[in-house]
Amino acid sequence: MTGKQCMETIEKEFIIEASGKSSEEAIGSIFGKLRKQIYSEVKGSVLHMEPLEVYKVSKDKKEYIEKFLWVFMPRKKVEYKIKLKIIVLIKYIPN
């Protein structure tokens, strides 16, 4: 069988930010956004995505007290905001 190789490989760098109630939730949200961004930017059918390097650009933790009607039932809330720089290896078949 003879034919031409049609799969291409590229490396791309993305900087993505997300927030969540926990650090794990924020990182999961970042990789969900990464997947959507790759599918929208790559012209063709994506076969494989592999993060090669992940760098933490920033991580913020915000704590605050939430109250019902400004007085009742105070409870402590935490929100994490994380920004990552991700270098991804993408294998795809161009259109």
What is the 8-class DSSP label of residue 70?
T
- The whole-angstrom separation of Cα 86 and Cα 53 is 6
Residues in the chain: 95
What was the pLDDT predicted at 72?
Answer: 82
What was the pLDDT predicted at 92?
Answer: 97
Residues of the chain with pLDDT under 50: none
What was the pLDDT predicted at 2?
Answer: 72
Domain residue limits, the chain: 14-94
What was the pLDDT predicted at 1?
Answer: 59
